[in-house]
């Protein structure tokens, strides 16, 4: 029997480099994959059921909510988004690592349902670097950027609720740190009960 995989929860401000680091992590660990969320919004062009999202209607989503079927959920602009428990638990039982890139509110919901999850917060070294990155994307107005910076400052108090923090000053170093965290956590005795049993059995006379 395989030991359970890792549930990896990654948070951080917009512009922290979360997506780039997570993509690099998946390239280095074939057994790491993103969880597929469920949503009540209509599919966008090119999106596929069971690949990008599980698409459903509001009534079905709310029925699942009543059954406590989500690790975390949120309602954004009249549409629900959530992480189905069963999908994640099935993958973990197969020994696969599941990656969730979500906000702090969602991360704390996941921790409540699955306390053994691994929570990593990624943040640029200072406000000036974050501002430069946000401006460099050329996707947001000055008003939006100011709002993101203010939100980040308010969220920093939550870092102590995470298991690890990665200061993304140099991307290559941040990726190496993320890889080291996953490799170390995967070797924890507390996560490898079946492996420990097999080792002990192998040394029996």
Ligand-binding site membership of 151 (annotated): no
For residue 41, the SS3 value is coil
3-state DSSP of 6-39: CEEEEECCCCCCHHHHHHHHHHHCCCEEECCEEE
Contact (Cβ atoms closer than 8 angstroms) between residue 106 and residue 100: yes
Ligand-binding site membership of 14 (annotated): yes
What is the rounded distance in angstroms from the CA atom of residue 7 to the CA atom of residue 98?
A: 5
Ligand-binding site membership of 13 (annotated): yes
Ligand-binding site membership of 69 (annotated): no
Ligand-binding site membership of 112 (annotated): no
- Do β-strands 32-34 and 97-101 pair in parallel, antiparallel, or remain unpaired? parallel
Six-digit token pair at 144? 């939006």
Ligand-binding site membership of 5 (annotated): no
Ligand-binding site membership of 37 (annotated): no
Residue ranges of the annotated binding site for ATP are 12-19
Residue ranges of the annotated binding site are 12-19
């Amino acid at each position: 029997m395989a030991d359970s995989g890792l549930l990896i929860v990654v948070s951080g401000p917009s512009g922290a480099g979360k997506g780039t680091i997570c993509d690099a992590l998946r390239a280095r660990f074939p057994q790491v994959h993103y969880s597929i969320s469920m949503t009540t919004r209509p599919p966008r062009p090119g999106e596929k059921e069971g690949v990008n999202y599980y698409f459903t209607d509001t009534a079905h989503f709310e029925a699942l909510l009543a059954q406590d079927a989500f690790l975390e959920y949120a309602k954004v602009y009249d549409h629900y988004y959530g992480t189905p428990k069963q999908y994640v638990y099935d993958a973990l039982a197969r020994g696969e690592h599941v990656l969730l890139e979500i906000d702090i509110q969602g991360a704390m919901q996941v921790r409540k349902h699955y306390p053994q999850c691994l929570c990593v917060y990624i943040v640029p070294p200072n406000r000036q670097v974050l501002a430069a990155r946000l401006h460099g994307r050329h996707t947001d107005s000055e008003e939006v950027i100011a709002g993101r910076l203010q939100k980040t400052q308010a969220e920093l108090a939550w870092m102590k609720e995470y298991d690890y923090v990665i200061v993304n000053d140099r991307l290559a170093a941040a990726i190496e740190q993320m890889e080291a965290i996953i490799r170390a956590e995967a070797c924890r005795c507390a996560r490898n009960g079946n492996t420990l049993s097999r080792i002990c059995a192998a040394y029996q006379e």
